[in-house]
Amino acid sequence: MKLQKMIFLFLFIFVSFSFAQIQVTLPIISGQPGTEATVGVVVNDLTAYNVRGYQLRLKYDKDIIYIKNPNDNSGTLSTGYLSYTNDVRPDSSTIVVVAIAPGDKFLGSGILFKLKVQYKKIGSTTIIIDPTFNNSFTTGDNSIPFTSVDGRATVATTNLPPVFDAVTAKTVNEGQELKFSINAVDPEGAPVTYSVVSKPEGSNFNATTKEFSWTPTYKQAGNYTATFSASDGNSSATLNVSITVVNVNSPPQINAIPDKTINEGEQLTFEVIATDNEGDTLTYSASNGPTGSEFNPTTHIFSWKPTGKQAGDYTVTFNVSDGDLISSINVKIKVLDVNVAPVIQPIADKTVNTGQTLTFEVIATDDDGDALTYGYIGSLPSGATFDVATHKFSWKPISTQAGDYEVTFFVFDGKITATVTVKIKVVKVNSAPVFTKWLPDTTISVHNVQVLFKYQYQASDPDGDNVTFKLDNGPEGSTMTSSGLFQWIPKVSQAGQVFYVMVTISDGSLSETKISTLITNPTIVGVEDNGSVPTTFNLHQNYPNPFNPTTLIKFEIPKESYVTLKVYNSIGKDVAELVNRELSAGQYQISFDAKNLPSGIYYYKLQAGEFTQTRKMLLVK
């Protein structure tokens, strides 16, 4: 008997007990003489066993292989304390592995520890857990029973791949299930793993049961090859299985379509759905369709809206062909005689700018020929109108009406009402501001004292924008506020001239300009403010009277007022304007020079707010 070498492997593992057993699987390996390999010893899940340590002794033929410490425990469960002890004996060799859990216990499954194997000479040896040794998994207090699966090491000059059992060529019809199994044996007795290299679309291969299964669709007629691989871990072999799928044609299958019942004027729509087992391209058609009906051979949609004159029973035939065989289905349609609602022509959404007029007509028809009444539901936008006689809608939105609106119109045939809702978008367009009050062409008198002339311009903006005023041109010394107040104190040197007042208003974007003529009277007329504030309005008799050619006219106003003082001849013609401006409360006297007027009776009239008073005077030359 050959001298064997023993290697002892001793491990302590901390595990908790479970009703199932721990199973240790030793490796099945092969190699050539003079080579080495690092392999793993595998264990099932230790988590539930509370294993804290283990010791195991592995036994093998020392003449065939030699096992030693791999000096690498990465990727194993034994990442805590781990030791290897070899023992060479005359008849065998062993290695003892001892380990302690890296934490409270070992967790999970996988590689328990690694071995480095040296292949020595051609031959084969088992690798087993030495039954003469006190092998154990322990919780620290108790040992846990375990089982083991023996390993094997084969040393050969050339590794032989697995050998497949022969599999005959297969033939299957479309839609029929095909099943077969494969099998391979390794000459060295190594375990064989299976995989599929290539297979037809839709087929399956179970590497555990070694079974192939496939039900070809009706689009998969033809020849196929399924290629399988068997490996012993060092070399592999392949097996090709030929599969012929036979084309089996069948007519298209049309889904059932129930009979239809609809009213006149009601929309009927349904789809014809068909399938073909072979996946052939299908062509759809229809016959005996009622007048006005449509069938789309591309979408397979049948649609029909019977008129008010199409009550009755109809049968429509639909045909589906796969290019060889044709299937047909008859669909019965019953149209009930009812009053049909008016049909309003679609009206597209509308967009209109502020200040622009939008007009469109509501048009409807009635299959029953009933008289139609038009109207609208709810209210129209402010400023909009709808003529029920002409069926026309009209609207010119203003700048403040920008936004989205919906107007719903109805058409009534005496029994049924149809409606249509039109969406209207009003887009705001900026509008220029406008003058609402501006200085008219005016003649004023220049006085021997400073007298303020002022005028309030007014303007508005259609969009509600803020309006500013600007004096572009005016007499020297004139000013204007941004709110539109024009002010000017004429100088004596400015008497008897013509001035142009140019004022521009703006909303920040658009503007408008007004030009007014301002004439100063060449006759200098004095105005005196005596300082005291009167309590009533009063116009005094001129003095002297009769006069030639000048006279003084006195008046009092108790509060700030817009004052006009004019002179008229005996037939009521305006011959002189002495005052036309805003005056503060006070006493005033005006010097009137009539050198250019003929003798006669004249009237002078004072108007201040709501107060009016007229007096008579006589000019004698």
- pLDDT tens digits, one per residue of 439-471: 988 888 777 767 788 999 999 987 778 999 999
Label residue 86 by pLDDT band (50, 70, 90): confident
Contact 158, 31 (CB under 8 A): no
Q: What is the pLDDT of residue 338?
A: 85
Q: What is the pLDDT of residue 30?
A: 81
Q: Cα dihedral sign for 607, 608, 613, 616? A: negative
CA distances from 360 to 134, 154, 234, 299, 316 (A): 104, 97, 86, 35, 41
**What percent of the chain has a predicted confidence (pLDDT) above 90?**
62
Closest by Cα among 296, 297, 405 to 350 = 405
Mean pLDDT of the chain: 88
Is 396 a residue whose pLDDT tops 50? yes
Contact 108, 74 (CB under 8 A): no
Euclidean distance between CA atoms 483 and 458, whole angstroms: 8
The token pair that represents 95 in the structure block: 């290695």
Is 425 a residue whose pLDDT tops 60? yes
Residues 113-135, mean pLDDT to the nearest whole number: 92
Residue where a domain stops, chosen among 378, 407, 427: 427
Burial label, 265 (beta-carbon count in 10 A; 0-12, 13-18, 19+): buried
Q: Is 186 inside any structural domain?
A: yes
Residue where a domain stops, chosen among 138, 155, 172: 155
Residues 593-601, mean pLDDT to the nearest whole number: 92
Residues 327-355, mean pLDDT to the nearest whole number: 92
Q: What is the pLDDT of residue 467?
A: 95
* pTM above threshold 0.95: no
Q: Is 448 inside any structural domain?
A: yes
Q: Do 136 and 232 fall within a single domain?
A: no
Q: What is the 3-state secondary structure of 66-134?
A: EEECCCCCCCCCCCCEEEEEEEECCEEEEEEEEEECCCCCCCCCEEEEEEEEEECCCEEEEEEECCCCC
Q: Do 444 and 403 fall within a single domain?
A: no
Q: Do 364 and 331 fall within a single domain?
A: no
Q: What is the pLDDT of residue 314?
A: 97
Q: What is the pLDDT of residue 526?
A: 47
Q: Which CATH number is 195's domain given? A: 2.60.40.10
Residues 265-292, mean pLDDT to the nearest whole number: 93
Q: What is the pLDDT of residue 524?
A: 45
Q: What is the pLDDT of residue 471?
A: 96
Label residue 20 by pLDDT band (50, 70, 90): low
Q: Do 204 and 297 fall within a single domain?
A: no
Label residue 494 by pLDDT band (50, 70, 90): confident
Is 23 a residue whose pLDDT tops 60? yes
Label residue 249 by pLDDT band (50, 70, 90): confident
- Distant-in-sequence, close-in-space partners of 573: CB < 8 Å, separation ≥ 6: none
CA distances from 159 to 30, 154, 229, 233, 481 (A): 7, 9, 16, 10, 110
Residue pointed to by tokens 């004698």: 620
Residue 219 half-sphere exposure toward CB, CA atoms < 13 A: 8
Residue 373 half-sphere exposure toward CB, CA atoms < 13 A: 8
Q: Is 281 inside any structural domain?
A: yes
The token pair that represents 591 in the structure block: 């010097």
Is 568 a residue whose pLDDT tops 50? yes
Label residue 564 by pLDDT band (50, 70, 90): very high
Q: Which CATH number is 551's domain given? A: 2.60.40.2550
Q: Do 102 and 31 fall within a single domain?
A: yes
Q: Do 553 and 507 fall within a single domain?
A: no
Q: Do 573 and 542 fall within a single domain?
A: yes
Residue where a domain stops, chosen among 223, 246, 269: 246
Q: What is the pLDDT of residue 492?
A: 84
One-letter amino acid at 85 equals T
Label residue 580 by pLDDT band (50, 70, 90): confident
Tell me which residue range forms the domain holding 16.
Answer: 4-155
The token pair that represents 608 in the structure block: 């201040």
What total of structural domains would you count in the chain?
A: 6
